Amino acid sequence: MPIEITMPRLSDTMEVGTILQWHVKIGDEVSAGDLLADIETDKATMELQSFDDGKVKELIVTEGKPVNVGTIIATLVEEDEVDGGSSDSQEVVPEVPTAVEETSTAENPAVEQFAQVESSPTTHSPTSGGARVSPVARRLAEEHGVDLTAVQGSGPSGRIIKRDILQLVATTSETTAAAETTKVSTTEVIQGTVPVTPVTAVQPLAPTSPWQQERTVPLSNMRQIIAKRLVESKQTIPHYQVTMDFDMNPLIEMRKTLNEQLATAGVKLSVNDFLVRCCALAMATNPAFNASFGGDCILYHGPVNVGIAIALPEERGGGLVVATIRNADQKSLRTISQESAYLSKKARETGLAIEEMGDTTFTISNLGMFGVDNFTAIINPPNSAILAVGAAVEKPVVRNGELAVGREMSATLSLDHRVIDGAMAAMYLKTLKELIENPASLLV
């Protein structure tokens, strides 16, 4: 009896999943633990593994099609069913008719495939030096004047099939057309039999790239979920923003010194690593920033879990995911840097697991690395705050009553007014400013 594989529920909020890519095909042998497919959930791209041994019988759901959790997406057949010649097995090949109409084989790929099976000595062509040739391939070769002795078969056991003849004909046609074009350009133009377009003639516009063509691109499952949740966040959370500028010179100088000392260990601290630790320490002393709105209560969380927003490449569907640095207030800069680098790389290449994205209590979105000076971000529920970080920009500043060139960073908090009021936001930013502008405290 076939083993049914259903669309799994890979997160607590997942209702729909999309097969991004199958890693198996019908007839493949799989064992428990083998990778079957990449599945896009409402939060990330996850790997689907097999829980049984067997042979792939059906791939029911095509790539790119969203289906509900619990839908049968593929079936396996057990080894004993395959060996026993079960009627359900894909290995059972129907008997091939001894005579197949040429028009049917030309139009039906399945019939063409069966026609390639050697059924009698008549499939050997005297003109092909003993090579096996399908009837359709022989007919096409005669129509196009193809010498079968010059054809390399790509079918079973070197059999010459329809595809081989068509590829050879197409290649020959392209070569002939190129030769004719060359002949015109080098001979007839010189002889004056082909008019030459004057240089001053109006030339047609260059063709536009595919990106400039009008087109409609369906939203991926992840982008649909992102759109839905951002709308819910803006509609249900009373957002307000508070901005503060920070002197980045001390932190940047310390980062430079530490990176020189840690270079031999292969560690390179980013500005974002410092900000994660600063935000976490400020959260530990401002508990409202480690809290969520609970309807008729405020939920204060124990662990300080900072989320970092990661942009995904277009080949993985684009969008953003938020990776979690757990207990960030208790971790060193080196540990935060290593975890951030690992999670960012995994998110962009294979996708994050649920436990690597859950339980955030505060989020950092950093566009400063792209040169953005300042912006505002939308709160990531159930967080009560998100910090939008801009670039550290050189500008004229006043230091000790004198004009100097300094590097300043603008950061904007978006806040849930149900949990955090303006005075609390000001206290948090004051604490954050003290940590960023006195970075030695981050090392203890």
Pairing label, strands 385-399, 362-366: parallel
Q: Is 417 a catalytic residue?
A: yes
Q: Where are the alpha helices (DSSP H) in 96-161?
A: 102-107, 109-115, 135-144
Cβ neighbours around 172 below 10 Å, total = 13
Q: Is 425 helix (H, G, I), strand (E, B) or coil?
A: helix
Question: 37 - beta bridge partners?
Answer: 22, 48
Q: Where are the alpha helices (DSSP H) in 5-68?
A: none
Angle, in degrees to the nearest 10, between helices 271-285 and 422-437:
130
- Residue 197 exposed, middle or buried by CB count within 10 Å (0-12, 13-18, 19+): exposed
Q: Look up residue 77 and give its two tokens.
A: 């057949």
Catalytic residue selected from 124, 144, 239, 417: 417
E strand spans, 294-384: 298-300, 306-311, 320-325, 362-366
- CA dist 153 and 146 (Å) reads 13
* 42, 222 contact by CB (below 8 A): yes
Q: Look up residue 26 and give its two tokens.
A: 């019908």
How wide is the angle at C-alpha 32 spanned by C-alphas 342 and 70, nearest 5°?
A: 85
* 440, 254 contact by CB (below 8 A): yes
Look up residue 174 and give its amino acid: E
Cis, peptide link before residue 156, omega less than 30° from 0: no
Q: What is the dihedral of CA 57, 63, 66, 68, to 10 degrees?
A: 20
Question: 40 - beta bridge partners?
Answer: 18, 45
Q: Is 77 helix (H, G, I), strand (E, B) or coil?
A: strand
Say how many residues make up the chain. 444
- CA dist 173 and 178 (Å) reads 9
Q: List residues with catalytic annotation.
A: 417
